[in-house]
Structure 1
């Protein structure tokens, strides 16, 4: 089932339509049939029922998922019932609003078939019950309205899906660029370290050997003063060689990737959820593949949080132990489901982690959906 994501203005426009249709119908119903008649009061009940069903069916969160399809059916029955209670053909506008909801729950081909069924009650009821000679023409006109409403909803769904995919890809590209840039800097540091070690280290080693030879020759020639200066140069050369080796080791060992920066790039300009990031002091990621796997886990969790919940924040915690890197992901949506169904995203996450020799666990807790990733350090 596709999850509705109505903007407030769209829901408001539908409720304004409901208000005008319902208020005008009630005005004419009470004027025509009087307060003592049951018809106006049944219309009141139908109008209120339609509003309540609409408010639940179009909720932006994932609450009451099992109620939405039954309530959508109830909306249809109430709309058809209103056509039986009053002879006003414009009450079919209820069915137009109902038709606009169908693409969020049915495929487009099914919507086309249902659109015909949605228009039939108006023609049948007004022809045989209200004796309207133009009922089928009116029904055909309202069918075009239903079809137009479905098409506009379908276009809105596709545009929203395309926009979300584009934004997700842009965030993924931005975070990947962060890692690539840092990996490039890391490679440059290693290249410089190798050059220092291979070139400068080689020359200093040769200089040390030549100074040692010069010291021996000066000693054999009885040049004590020269030997003293040569020994001093020899000591300085050995000290400089030691410093160079220490600097090279420092460059090699202290080139971690800024994983935090890449994670924050995923959440940039998102209205929700906000990022609650906690990285232990002992965490240092130097392997690009490891950083990318952990980053993709955060990305998939973020995508699921946006798509399936209304959570205001996502907690990301990264720690390190003897077993490797421990990544936990926690949203704040109180779970309504009891079982976990692994979609393509979570399945891909599991496969990626298992290929790297790690493990992942998905579960629901009292706060929401919880993911724990354990990834060993690369050998």
Structure 2
């Protein structure tokens, strides 16, 4: 089932349309039949029922997910029922509103077929119940309205889907660029460290050896003053060599990737969920492939959180233990499902982790959906 996500202006326009149609229907019903008749009160029940269905079906969040399809069917039945209560064809506008909702819950082919059934009751009821000779022409006109409403909703759905995919790809590209940039800087630091160690360290080692030889020769020649200067130079050379080795070690130790920066790039400019990131102090990721695998897992969890929940936060916790890296991803949507169905995204995540020698576990807890990943360090 596709998740409906009306913009506020779209929901407001549907509400205003419902209000005008309902008020006019109630006015004519009470004026024609009076308060003592049951028809006006049945109209009240119909318009209130349609409003209740509309308010749930068009909610942004996924509250009452199991009720949305039944409510959609109930809204159709109420709209059809209203056609029996008053002889005014404009009440079929309720069916036009219903037609605009249908593409969010059914495919385009199904919508085309159902559009006929959305207009058919108007022709049947007004022809045989209200004896309207022009009912079928009116029904045909309303069928075009229904079809147009479905088409516009379908276009809006496609545009929204394309926009979400584009934004997701852009965030993925940005985070990947962060990793590539950091990997380039890491390689450059390691290259410099190796050059310092191999070239400067080699020459300093040779210099200390030569100074040590010179010190022995000066001592054998009885040149104590020269020996003192040579010994001093030898001590300075050894100190310099020690400083070089310390600097090389420091460069190597500070070469890890800034994984946190890449993760934050995934959440940039997102209205929700906000990132709650926790990285243990002992975590240091130097392997680009490992960083990329963990980043892709966060990305997939983020995509699922946006698509399937209304969670305001996504908790990302990265730790390191004897088994390797431990990544926990947790949303805060109270679960309604009892079982976990692995879609393409979660299946791809599992395959990616298993190929790297790790493991992944999906589960529901009291907070929501949780993903726990263990990824060994590369050899």
Shorter-chain TM-score bucket reads: over 0.9
3-state SS of paired residue (1:173):
helix
Alignment-derived partner of residue 338 in structure 1: 338
Instruction: Provide the C-alpha distance between the structure 2 equivalents of 1:35 and 1:233, rounded to a whole number of angstroms.
Output: 113
Alignment-derived partner of residue 272 in structure 1: 272
Question: Following TM superposition, by how much is the alpha carbon of 1:165 offset from its aligned partner in structure 2, in angstroms?
Answer: 0.8
Does the 8 Å contact 1:215/1:227 carry over to 2?
yes
Instruction: Calculate the TM-score normalised by the size of structure 1.
Output: 0.97
3-state SS of paired residue (2:286):
coil
Alignment-derived partner of residue 89 in structure 1: 89
Does the 8 Å contact 1:280/1:319 carry over to 2?
yes
Runs of 4+ in 1 over 4 A off after TM superposition: none
Alignment-derived partner of residue 111 in structure 2: 111
Question: Following TM superposition, by how much is the alpha carbon of 1:25 offset from its aligned partner in structure 2, in angstroms?
Answer: 0.7
Instruction: Provide the C-alpha distance between the structure 1 equivalents of 2:67 and 2:103, rounded to a whole number of angstroms.
Output: 17
Alignment-derived partner of residue 356 in structure 2: 356
Alignment-derived partner of residue 368 in structure 2: 368
Paired residues for 1:259-338 under 5 Å: 259-338=259-338
CA-to-aligned-CA distance 1:42-66 (integer Å, 9 cap, x gap): 1111111111111122222222222
Instruction: Provide the C-alpha distance between the structure 1 equivalents of 2:216 and 2:315, rounded to a whole number of angstroms.
Output: 68
Instruction: Provide the C-alpha distance between the structure 1 equivalents of 2:234 and 2:73, rounded to a whole number of angstroms.
Output: 93
RMSD of aligned Cα (Å) = 1.3
Alignment-derived partner of residue 134 in structure 2: 134
Instruction: Provide the C-alpha distance between the structure 1 equivalents of 2:14 and 2:100, rounded to a whole number of angstroms.
Output: 10
3-state SS of paired residue (2:325):
strand
Question: Following TM superposition, by how much is the alpha carbon of 1:24 offset from its aligned partner in structure 2, in angstroms?
Answer: 0.2
Paired residues for 1:190-269 under 5 Å: 190-269=190-269
Alignment-derived partner of residue 172 in structure 1: 172
Alignment-derived partner of residue 347 in structure 1: 347
Deviates more, 1:103-112 or 1:65-74: 65-74
CA-to-aligned-CA distance 1:290-343 (integer Å, 9 cap, x gap): 111111111111111111111111111111111111111111111111111111
3-state SS of paired residue (1:330):
strand
Question: Following TM superposition, by how much is the alpha carbon of 1:239 offset from its aligned partner in structure 2, in angstroms?
Answer: 2.0
Does the 8 Å contact 1:63/1:336 carry over to 2?
no
Alignment-derived partner of residue 155 in structure 1: 155
Does the 8 Å contact 1:298/1:329 carry over to 2?
yes
Q: Can you give the 5+ residue segments of structure 1 that lack an aligned partner in the other structure? A: none
Instruction: Provide the C-alpha distance between the structure 1 equivalents of 2:66 and 2:311, rounded to a whole number of angstroms.
Output: 20
3-state SS of paired residue (2:47):
helix
Question: Following TM superposition, by how much is the alpha carbon of 1:29 offset from its aligned partner in structure 2, in angstroms?
Answer: 1.1
Alignment-derived partner of residue 30 in structure 1: 30
Instruction: Provide the C-alpha distance between the structure 2 equivalents of 1:20 and 1:63, rounded to a whole number of angstroms.
Output: 28
Instruction: Provide the C-alpha distance between the structure 2 equivalents of 1:66 and 1:278, rounded to a whole number of angstroms.
Output: 35
3-state SS of paired residue (1:245):
helix
Question: Following TM superposition, by how much is the alpha carbon of 1:207 offset from its aligned partner in structure 2, in angstroms?
Answer: 1.6
Question: Following TM superposition, by how much is the alpha carbon of 1:254 offset from its aligned partner in structure 2, in angstroms?
Answer: 2.2
